[in-house]
Amino acid sequence: MYFPKPTVLIAVLWASQVFAAPSPDKTNQDFQQLSELRADVESAIQELSSHGDDSSFVTPVVTRFLDLVNGLAEINQANESANEADFSVDDQNALCERLKRTRFSQAKMISLLGNKNKAITGFGFGPATGRTVEVYDRDIKQFLDEVDSRLNDCGDDYKERLESSIKTAKNKYPTDRERAAS
């Protein structure tokens, strides 16, 4: 299946900012949605790996990553008009664990995506993937930071791991603008 590069770019530009989840239940739903989308990306990456990085398996990786970025935008749209609710101490503790697991699993997924840069770039999706990683970087950080701001103390090493993994992926997928600057 072939997607023209303008289609990929339009999908990337469609993604918008993500805001705080309004309630513990909605936050859990958001984490579940992100988990499912991440699992789809990892499944596509595994499929690509098991077929020796065959180019016919590149498009599903790129489109599922776009689905993940668009999922973040959908979370934003759903949360824009929702009323905010306070998180109880029990909610905060449970959500803190979900936040840590999400940071860990998102870092793993984006690292796997970065490791497939030769196959993806070789198929012509390098700059588009770079732009998608930039949107993902902005949106995932904003979403996780907003959730974290509602929790008392949910710091962990996974935040730095996620940031490092995103930075590495950005370096592996330079955008056209970055290529022109170098």
pLDDT under 50 in the chain at which residues?
Answer: 1, 9-20
Give the pLDDT confidence score for residue 88 in this predicted structure: 83
Give the pLDDT confidence score for residue 82 in this predicted structure: 59
Give the pLDDT confidence score for residue 168 in this predicted structure: 94
Give the pLDDT confidence score for residue 17 in this predicted structure: 38
Sign for the pseudo-dihedral over CA of 10, 12, 13, 18: positive
pTM score of the predicted model: 0.79
Number of independent structural domains in the chain? 1
Give the pLDDT confidence score for residue 14 in this predicted structure: 41
Q: Which of 109, 107, 105 is nearest to 97 (CA)?
A: 105
Domain residues for the domain of 111 are 5-13+21-181
Give the pLDDT confidence score for residue 70 in this predicted structure: 94
